[in-house]
């Protein structure tokens, strides 16, 4: 399958992640307003979803660089240094039933989200595009993909980081393998 086709599939998945994130934020706000309870079955599934999306994002980034031959820039690498350990920590925490894994996972996801936001701004804001943190051979302002007028690789990564933060902080469960 062509890399362009895979990138389009990734963009559609990012839209799905964004829709899920929006739905969960509305659910959390509604819960605060109406004091309604979220089914415990969803809270248990929330940690599993966090594991799945971070592992999928890690594998997707490896596909883009190793199979798709898209050279990661410095900010892509910074996002990867947050995503790869995050996926690993969540996976190990889920297998071992470590209820304290959120203490490590949430800060990694927040730092990754911050890096994604900055990288997205480097791509979208013209006066930031010549920032000194980027190299001449692999500039951070280059947009390998832009689907639907706004989805780029940093957007995709940021979407995963944001959903992970919401899942881990907003949907805690005593029945979940990840506390």
pLDDT in tens, 7-29: 889 999 999 999 999 999 998 88
Most confident listed range (75-79, 134-138, 158-162, 167-171): 158-162
pLDDT for the residue numbered 30 = 82
CATH number of 3-170: 1.20.1550
* pTM, to two decimals: 0.88
- Give the residue among 20, 19, 92 at the shortest CA–CA distance from 49: 20
Cα dihedral: 162, 167, 168, 173 (round 10): 170
Q: Domain segments of the chain: what residues?
A: 3-170
Confidence check: pLDDT of 131 > 70:
no
| Higher-confidence position of 125 and 13 | 13
The average pLDDT across 38-57 equals: 81
């Amino acid at each position: 399958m062509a890399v362009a086709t895979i990138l389009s599939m990734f963009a559609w998945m990012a839209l799905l992640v964004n829709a899920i994130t929006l739905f969960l934020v509305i659910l959390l706000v509604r819960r605060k307003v109406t004091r309604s309870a979220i089914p415990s079955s969803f809270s248990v599934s929330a940690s599993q979803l966090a594991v799945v999306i971070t592992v999928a994002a890690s594998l997707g980034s490896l596909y883009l660089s190793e199979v798709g031959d898209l050279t990661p820039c410095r900010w892509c690498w910074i996002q990867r240094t947050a995503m790869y350990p995050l996926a690993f920590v969540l996976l190990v925490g889920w297998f071992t039933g470590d209820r304290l894994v959120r203490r490590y996972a949430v800060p990694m996801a927040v730092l990754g989200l911050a890096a994604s936001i900055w990288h997205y701004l480097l791509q979208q804001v013209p006066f930031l595009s010549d920032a000194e943190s980027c190299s001449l051979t692999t500039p951070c302002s280059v947009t390998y993909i832009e689907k639907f007028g706004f989805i780029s690789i940093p957007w995709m990564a940021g979407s995963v980081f944001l959903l992970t933060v919401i899942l881990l902080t907003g949907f805690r469960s005593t029945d979940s393998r990840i506390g």
